[in-house]
């Protein structure tokens, strides 16, 4: 398979027809349930903490050799069925020229929040060349991964907008919701700009060779279904349209939004731990009753990994059983790996999932 890059060059894409994750993402049954973990390349691994001790998050995200090594660490240690590119959802904003920093213990902090139409007009656009180090990291990773798929990712327009408007992480997203409802014209202009930026970032990753992508709408669960459908979903749909690789769409606290999220166009919908997978399948099926059986990803509560392994095993078996209601199931957590998680427990979960009937 070939793919044209932004420069017009044509690169050969990897053919991984037997990769369990890609088989499941296509709505078929692989020979085993594929498993990977959000935040698998990160804070729970002592080798990651040693490697990151002398570098900031943003500088690490633009160091191709470091990105390659961090992305590979959980693949080597756990035997997961996919790698996810080590990066951050604000990387394309930073690369475009937005003044921000990732503050340890806080998260992304934006120097000049976006609060008015003039702020939106002044937002810089992202050129694919600005994320060349990310593409270079992918080039280093593909030979290392062999038959293991690589997932690229980006933040969805709503979640990026929340960071830009609030100036950083927010519990209630009050300024975001106020702008959304009081000035819908400016709101849609902002999300349209962010959809273009996000799509450019994902296309750069795809051109470099990632095998699938995940769109993180981390804060979409703060919205009502009506607001999500009218004010957010069209912009996520713009990002996801026609990317040419399997697309996963995930948000936290989005149980009431699952049907609306499916209509945004992803191949796989990630489900957090609040909704059982079989119930999620029912909601997703109702959203597109004439469509194919939905494919789901999830959804072990990350906190369960800190319990006795007998509890972990019980919950893993339950989730795999519930996942059989779907057209395809990719085992994952309902959010990211927590920092205090014992890496050996993650490895045992992978072995357990692989031993269960798909």
- Secondary structure E strands in the chain: 2-4, 10-12, 83-84, 100-103, 107-110, 150-155, 212-217, 247-251, 268-270, 295-300, 328-333
Of 48, 52, 193, 272, the catalytic one is 52
| Token digits of residue 290 | 């004439």
From the candidates 29, 32, 43, 175, give the one annotated as an active-site residue: 43
119 is catalytic: no
* DSSP per residue, 288-332: STTSPPPEEEEEE-GGGGGS-HHHHHHHHHHHHHHHTTSSEEEEE
Identified catalytic residue from 163, 193, 211, 272:
163
Catalytic residue status for 43: yes
> Which tokens go with 270?
């990630």
Question: Which residues are 269's β-sheet partners?
Answer: 249, 296
> Which is nearest to 37 in space by CA: 355, 356, 341?
341
Distance CA(88)–CA(81), nearest Å, equals 21
In this structure, the chain runs to a length of 358
| Distance from the first to the final alpha carbon of the chain | 28
| Inter-residue contact 266 to 215 (CB < 8 Å) | yes
H or E element, residue 195: helix 184-208
Phi, psi of 2 (to 5 degrees): -120, 165
Catalytic residue, candidates 39, 77, 229, 324:
39
Active site residue 39: yes
101 counts as catalytic: no
Q: Which of 88, 136, 227, 301 is catalytic?
A: 88
**SS3 state at 153:** strand
Query: Is 324 part of the annotated catalytic residue set?
Result: no
Catalytic residue annotation: 39, 43, 52, 88, 163
């Amino acid at each position: 398979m070939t793919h044209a890059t932004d420069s017009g060059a044509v690169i050969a894409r990897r053919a991984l027809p037997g990769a369990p994750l890609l088989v499941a993402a296509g709505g078929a049954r692989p020979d085993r349930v594929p498993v990977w973990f959000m935040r698998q390349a990160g804070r729970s691994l002592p080798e990651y903490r040693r490697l990151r001790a002398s570098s900031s998050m943003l500088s690490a995200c633009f160091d191709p050799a470091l990105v390659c090594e961090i992305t590979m660490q959980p693949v080597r240690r756990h035997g997961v069925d996919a790698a996810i590119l080590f990066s951050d959802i604000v990387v394309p904003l930073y690369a475009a020229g937005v003044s921000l920093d990732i503050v340890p213990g806080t998260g992304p902090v934006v120097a000049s929040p976006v609060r008015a139409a003039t702020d939106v007009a002044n937002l810089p656009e992202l050129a694919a060349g600005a994320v060349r180090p990310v593409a270079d990291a992918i080039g280093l990773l593909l030979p290392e991964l062999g038959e293991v798929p690589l997932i690229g990712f980006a933040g969805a327009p709503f979640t990026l907008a929340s960071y830009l408007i609030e100036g950083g992480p927010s519990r209630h997203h009050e300024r975001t919701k106020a702008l959304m409802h009081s000035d819908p014209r400016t709101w849609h202009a902002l999300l349209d700009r962010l959809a273009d930026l996000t799509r450019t970032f994902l296309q750069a990753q795809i051109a470099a060779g990632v095998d699938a992508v995940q769109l993180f709408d981390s804060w979409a669960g703060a919205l009502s279904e009506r607001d999500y459908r009218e004010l957010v979903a069209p912009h996520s749909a713009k990002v996801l349209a026609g990317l040419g690789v399997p697309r996963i769409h995930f948000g936290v606290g989005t149980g009431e939004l699952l049907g609306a999220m499916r209509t945004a166009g992803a191949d796989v919908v990630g489900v957090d731990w609040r909704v059982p997978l079989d119930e999620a399948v029912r909601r997703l099926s109702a959203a597109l009753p004439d469509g194919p059986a939905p494919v789901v990803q999830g959804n072990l509560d990350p906190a369960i990994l800190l319990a006795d392994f007998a509890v972990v095993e019980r919950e893993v078996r339950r989730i795999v059983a519930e996942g059989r209601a779907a057209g395809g199931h990719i085992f994952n957590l309902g959010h990211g790996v927590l920092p205090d998680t014992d890496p050996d427990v993650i490895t045992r979960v992978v072995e357990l999932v692989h031993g269960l009937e798909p």
